[in-house]
Amino acid sequence: MSPRVLILDDDPGRHAQFDKMLPQASRFHTYTANQTIATLDESPAFDVVFLDHDLPKSAELLNVSDPGTGLDVAVYIAKELSLTKKPGLVWIHSHNPEGRQKMARTLRAAGIPTTVQSFRY
């Protein structure tokens, strides 16, 4: 069975790059914090969740006033997501150094395996 991967990023081009990087995975794409939280709630557990922090393009693309941030998702995973739905790994790929560290601290404090690595697209 292929790994289930959830990808949060505001850039459609980055989603396309993830598709190329992860051809064997079952990929689910989200563009806002709220979409990601809803997908986490409504779906079986994901093997890996990729999180971006800053989501400014989402507001433009989806005409939403507040797309939230990856930190909102990290807090949700750490504090509210049911144990049976916790991801096997969260991979933070944001270019925002402060945001990356806040997300990593939040997730690691809750015992969620977390990798921090920005990708060059």
pLDDT of residue 121: 57
pTM higher than 0.85: yes
pLDDT band at 78 (very low <50, low <70, confident <90, very high): very high
Yes or no: domain 4-116 corresponds to CATH 3.30.70.270: no
- H or E element: which one contains 28? strand 26-30
Q: Is 53 exposed, middle or buried (0-12, 13-18, 19+ CB in 10 A)?
A: buried
Q: What is the mean pLDDT of the chain?
A: 93
Three-class DSSP category at 92:
strand
Q: What is the dihedral of CA 19, 25, 31, 34, to 10 degrees?
A: 180
- What mean pLDDT is predicted for residues 69-96? 96
Rg (CA), the chain: 13
16-71 per-position pLDDT tens digit? 999 999 999 999 999 999 999 999 999 999 999 999 999 877 777 777 778 889 99
